[in-house]
Amino acid sequence: MAIDQASGRSIMVSSETTTLKRLLIHSPDRGLGKVVPSKAQDWLFEDIVHLDTMRRKEYDYYVKLLLYFLDPDKIKGKLAAINDDLSRSFFIPGHENYFNSDRVVDFQRLLGEILEDKSTRTKLTAAICGIERCSYHIQEELNGYDAHELADIFISGSCSDKRMLFAPLPNLIFMRDIGIVINNHILLNKPAKTARTRESILAQFVFFYHPMFADIKGNIIEIPENERHFLLPDDEKASDYHRCTLEGGDVMMVAPHHLLIGCSERTSIYAAQQAMKILFDKDVVAKITIIKIPKKRDYMHIDTIFTQVKKDAWVLLSALARVGDEAKKKDVLHFFAPADANKEFKILQFEKGKEQQPREIENLEDLLTQISRDDLGVTAPVRFIYSGGNEFPYGEREQWTDSCNLLALRDGVVIGYDRNDKTIEAFKKEGFKVISAKGLLEKFEHNELSPQDLTDTFITLPSAELSRARGGSHCMSMPLLRG
């Protein structure tokens, strides 16, 4: 089940843009419909979303696109029936009509499958009830549920009878954050916020207990907590140099030997250092570049300010690019920024065996150009497509709604949100074709196009509700296999 027949591998990611063959996702669950304004910030969710719209009119298109590209036999010829089914049974793990793909894999399905084992179920239920401080009676009640319903409860926090047993996990739709595949290893996250602790425990159990990952169990990396953590004063525990937090949105595998790690409001310098030490010791990569970005809510992770769309092309926020200095002169808000604001941004590149002599890279564009040319062998000019077309104030506005957060299905074919008009125009100017997810699916279904026909294409995903959640198509994926 887990092995790709062509490559003989269950996991392997050495690039951001080679052809995507397997990934983890998580469709919006009923827990998102339980987020209330008073708790939204505590649960790390940006807004109150309309769940049915987010599912049926937006995220379901994402799943259908992924299936057409990665596992077309699961969807070809069935589109009309899927669209007409108001129950959405095609998208519900455990349902007899569920698409059940081993290439487009819903995390909830894997969780339900490991819960069918009595021993695993007992251990995980005890762990969840422990961190959620459940009563003995609740723990006994949980033991009576079907495995797939129990998986839904562990994720959504609520039962089918609508009772809430614990807080929902609305951020689990951002599958990228639970872990990252680095060549043939998986680096598990260390969430920065308490609200995501349950996600981390669920991820540990899925990766260590599910048969899909049985052959790489020895290649799962967990970053150890600072052993002095319990001895540190509270103010030092919160320090970037002592706290151990890392999320997948801050990690990019850009070339077979080269990894990027962002230090942000969610990923600490200490965790980046520990990850670098382990990865170098295990010879997983030879070069790691650490990108320290400002700790701002609108940046959050490095994949919110840039992603790669093709070997020779990147989309990024101009304020942190080479053109940023000139752009700031036109931005009246710049005059109200702290004088040392730019000191928050720094790029250091480390090579295995030379960790004490890092090379400082002045500008983000210089780094990305180096990756395209030196690591990926690009000989053509490296292209930069700026959020909002580098036009004030659209660069920042559209970056907020994930204009820089794109998933490459393969080199030059990307999925992004339809609402970022100026960024889409910038893609058009660089020769990209633009087509809506709905229109493309219809062309696939009627044999007017096939996924193999597409080159340099920006696929627009409906995003009125998805964009409220503060994460794009890159965030919503955890690639397991590219090639």
pLDDT in tens, the chain (483 residues): 456 655 567 899 999 999 999 999 999 999 999 998 888 777 777 788 999 999 999 999 999 999 999 999 999 999 999 999 999 999 999 999 999 999 999 999 999 999 999 999 999 999 999 999 999 999 999 999 999 999 999 999 998 878 899 999 999 999 999 999 999 999 999 888 888 899 999 999 999 999 999 999 999 999 988 766 656 666 655 677 778 899 999 999 999 999 999 999 889 999 999 999 999 999 999 999 999 998 887 888 999 999 999 999 999 999 888 775 554 444 433 333 444 444 678 999 999 999 999 999 989 999 999 999 999 999 999 999 999 999 999 999 999 999 999 999 999 999 999 999 999 999 999 999 999 999 999 999 999 999 999 999 999 999 999 998 889 999 999 999 999
Helix axes 147-156, 107-114, angle to 10 degrees: 130
C-alpha angle 63/67/71, rounded to 5°?
Answer: 155
Find residue 25's DSSP bridge partners.
106
Q: Which of 419, 404, 413 is nearest to 472 (CA)?
A: 404
d(CA 344, CA 322): 16
d(CA 470, CA 473): 11
Please provide the size of the chain in residues: 483
CATH topology of domain 20-482: L-arginine/glycine Amidinotransferase; Chain A (3.75.10)
pLDDT of residue 5: 55
Q: Which of 479, 403, 430 is nearest to 313 (CA)?
A: 430
- Per the CB < 8 A criterion, the answer to whether 209 and 120 are in contact is yes
Q: Which helix (H) or strand (E) holds 186?
A: strand 185-188
| DSSP-based three-state secondary structure for 379 | coil
d(CA 409, CA 277): 31
Neighbours of 276 (CB within 10 A): 18
pLDDT of residue 179: 94
Q: What's at 292, amino acid-wise?
A: K
pLDDT of residue 192: 80
d(CA 136, CA 271): 36
Name the one residue in this structure whose structure tokens are 């827990």: 31
pLDDT of residue 211: 96
| DSSP-based three-state secondary structure for 264 | coil
Q: Which helix (H) or strand (E) holds 185?
A: strand 185-188
Token pair of 209, please? 């207990």
- Per the CB < 8 A criterion, the answer to whether 287 and 258 are in contact is yes
Task: List all residues 6 or more positions away from 394 whose beta carbon is below 8 Å from its beta carbon.
Answer: 387, 388, 422, 423
- Report CA-CA distances (Å) from 86 to 52, 80, 100: 10, 12, 19
Domain boundaries, the chain: 20-482
**Alpha-helical segments (H) within 379-476:** 394-400, 421-429, 437-445
Kindly state the DSSP code that residue 162 receives in the 8-state scheme: S
